[in-house]
Structure 1
Amino acid sequence: MDDPYHAGSRAVQDRLGVRAVADHIGRSIGPGLREVTAAFLGLQPMLVIGAADEAGRMWSSLLTGTPGFVRATGPRRIAVTGGPPDGDPLTTALATEGTPVGTLALDPRTRRRLRLNGTAAPTPRGFVVATEQVFANCPKYLQRRTLRAPVPGPAGAARQSRELTPGQQRLIRAADTFFIATAAPDGADAGHRGGNPGFVRVLSPNALSWQDYPGNAMFLTLGNLEGDPRTGLLFVDWSTGGTLQLTGTATTVFGAAGRTLHFTVTEAVETPHAGPLRWSTPEYSPANPPVGDCA
C-alpha cells in the first residue's frame, strides 16, 4: 500500500522528529487479515468501534458477544453478529451502508490489541467491515484483567446529559483505561489510552485533560486531531459492565514537558449494565508512569 500516514500524522511525526521510526513501524500496516489475526478475533468477547453518528459527532461504542461474534470472513472482511445496546449513539450509523469505522479488538487477559479500520455495511445479523488498515499495537499501558462469569440480561436505559454528573466524574477519575475515536481524512480510527488511576483529570463538568504518553510514534490519533477536532471517548466500568460515552472536541497542547490533550464534552451517554462482561480488578501495566500534573 502507499504511505499509511496522512498529512496530519506526518506533521506530528516531523514536529517530534520521529518520522524514521514511524516509517519502520508503518510497514506493519496493511489492508488484509492474516491467519493469526483471524484466530485472535475469533477469541474475543468484545470489540470497540469508533464512528460518526448521523449528525457528524464522533462516538466510541462497546460491542460484546460470545467469542466468535467477531470473525474474519475473507482476506479483507470481518463480520460482527449483533450490535450496540438500545440507545447507543452509533446504532443508526452501523445500520447505514458505507459508514467509515475504526475498530479495536483488545484482550485484557493477554494485553494484546488489534486495530482494523475500514467501511461498514449492515447485514441481517449485524454488520460487516471491509478492512483498509489492519495492524497490531504493543501492550504498553494495557492493564491485565481476568474475565469473570458473564451476567446476562438487558442493558439499562441510556441516560443522556450535556455535562458530567458527579458520579460520572468519579468514574473518570478512577479510570485506568479509556477508548478514543477520531476522524481521519479518509475514515475513522479507534484507539486506547491507559495509565494509573488519576491519569485523566476532570477540570469541570465539561472539560477533561490527560497527558499523551510516549508510544509507537505513529501518532494516528494526534494526527487526526491536527485536521479534525471531533472526538468520542468511551469509559467502561469493568466490574458492572456499564459504559460512559462522551462526544465533543479535543486539542493537543505541545510543551517542553510533553503533550497534553484537552477534551470538551458536548454530550454524555451513560448506560448501566451495557454488556454482560465482568472483569477482575487490574494488574497495572509496568509501563504506566506515575500520575503527575497535567498542564
Structure 2
Amino acid sequence: MDPYHDGSRAVQDRLGERTTADHIGRSIGRGIREVAAAFLGLQPMLVVGAADRAGRMWSSLLTGAPGFVRATGPHRIAVTGGPPDGDPLAEALATEGTRVGTLALDPRTRRRMRLNGTATPTPRGFAVEAEQVFSNCPRYLQRRKLHAPAPTPAGAVRRGRELTPGRRTLIRSADTFFIATTAADGADASHRGGNPGFIEVTSPTELTWQDYPGNSMYLTLGNLEHDPRAGLLFLDWSTGTTLQLTGTAKATYGARGRTTRFTIAESVETPHASPLRWSAPEYSPANPPLREPA
C-alpha cells in the first residue's frame, strides 16, 4: 500500500521528489521492531499530536521515568500517565478512538522515531495501536545532555490569543519546535529545528519559518495541503516551561524556498510543565545559516 496520501504526493511532485519519497517510504510500516522498542523504553519524554474536542490541533509534551513509554506488542505501545493538568489534550487522550501522532526524540543521541495510530484509554494512561512506524535522520536535531530532573511543580496554566513579549522571546530564541498536523488517514507529530532565529514572529498572532530540505516524505506539508489545522509546541529546555499554540498553517513555494506561515488561534503557556532539565545545545552541523530578509 502507498504510505502517502494525495496531499504528500502533490508536494512530492511539485518539488520533483517522488522517486526519493518512494524509496524512503519503504521504511514506513506498522510493526515495532526490537531496536525501536528498545529505543522507546529509554526515553523520558514523548510528544503527542492530536485534535481536541473542538477540532483544534495541539502538540503536547509527556514525560516520565524511562519505561513510561513501552512497546507491548508488535503494533502497540502503552504510555503510563498523561499530559500535565490543564493540557489541551488531556480529554482527547482519555477518549476512545482519538487519532494521534507521536514522536519520541532523544537529544542525547540525536535520534527520533515516529508512531502514528489510534489511542485507547487504559487504567494507567493510554495505548496506541500503530498504523505507521518509522524513524527519521538526525538532520536539524540539536544535541543536549540531560541533567537531573527538577522537583519544581508545574505552574498555573496561562491562556491567551496573542503572544506576550516573553512568549515572543521564547519563540525567537528557539532552536527546536514540534508541529502536529492531520489528514483523513490520521494525525502526525513532527519536528523542526535550526539555528535560533529560524522562526520569525511577524505579529502577535503570526509566525513564519523556512522549511528546510528533509527526508522527501512531506508528511507535514502534505497534510497542510488539505487541512490547515496545526498545533505547535515550544519548550524552554532549561526550565521545562512549555508554550503550545493552535491555529492554521499554510506553506508557500517560491524561488527562495518553502516558507510556512502559522496564524495563532490560542496559546497555552505552562511554567515548569516538564521536570526534565537539559543542557545548552550543540547545534546540528546541518543547520543552514539564517536567511536574509527579502
TM-score norm. by structure 2 comes to 0.99
Correspondence for 1:11: 10
Indicate whether 1:195 and 2:194 are aligned.
yes
Letter in 2 for 1:251: K
Offset of 1:179 from its aligned partner? 0.1
Indicate whether 1:253 and 2:276 are aligned.
no
Correspondence for 2:112: 113
Quick one: distance in 2 between partners of 1:185 and 1:294? Answer: 36
- Residues 190-238 of structure 1: CA deviation (Å, up to 9, x unaligned): 0000000000000010000000000010000000000000000000000
Offset of 1:257 from its aligned partner? 1.3
Instruction: Provide the secondary structure at the position in 2 that maps to 1:169.
Output: helix
Taking only the aligned residue pairs, the percentage that are identical comes to 78
Pairing 1:53-132 to 2, within 5 Å after superposition: 53-132=52-131
Correspondence for 2:217: 218
Quick one: distance in 2 between partners of 1:143 and 1:268? Answer: 25
Unpaired runs of 5+ in structure 2? none
Correspondence for 1:265: 264
Quick one: distance in 1 between partners of 2:6 and 2:162? Answer: 33
Quick one: distance in 1 between partners of 2:215 and 2:149? Answer: 34
* 8 Å Cα contact 1:211-1:294 kept in structure 2: no
Offset of 1:153 from its aligned partner? 4.0
Letter in 2 for 1:73: T
Unpaired runs of 5+ in structure 1? none
Instruction: Provide the secondary structure at the position in 2 that maps to 1:91.
Output: coil
Correspondence for 1:28: 27
Instruction: Provide the secondary structure at the position in 2 that maps to 1:281.
Output: coil
* 8 Å Cα contact 1:106-1:112 kept in structure 2: yes
Offset of 1:293 from its aligned partner? 3.4
Instruction: Provide the secondary structure at the position in 2 that maps to 1:221.
Output: helix
Tell me the matched-pair count.
Answer: 294
Pairing 1:140-155 to 2, within 5 Å after superposition: 140-155=139-154
Quick one: distance in 2 between partners of 1:14 and 1:265? Answer: 29
Moved over 4 A (4+): none
Instruction: Provide the secondary structure at the position in 1 that maps to 2:7.
Output: helix
- Residues 96-134 of structure 1: CA deviation (Å, up to 9, x unaligned): 000000000000000000000000011111000000000
Quick one: distance in 2 between partners of 1:21 and 1:59? Answer: 30
TM-score norm. by structure 1 comes to 0.99
Instruction: Provide the secondary structure at the position in 2 that maps to 1:224.
Output: helix
Instruction: Provide the secondary structure at the position in 1 that maps to 2:274.
Output: coil
Offset of 1:246 from its aligned partner? 0.1
Offset of 1:294 from its aligned partner? 5.7
Pairing 1:30-49 to 2, within 5 Å after superposition: 30-49=29-48
Quick one: distance in 2 between partners of 1:34 and 1:165? Answer: 44
Instruction: Provide the secondary structure at the position in 1 that maps to 2:253.
Output: strand
Instruction: Provide the secondary structure at the position in 2 that maps to 1:41.
Output: helix
Letter in 1 for 2:234: F
Indicate whether 1:274 and 2:253 are aligned.
no
Letter in 1 for 2:180: A
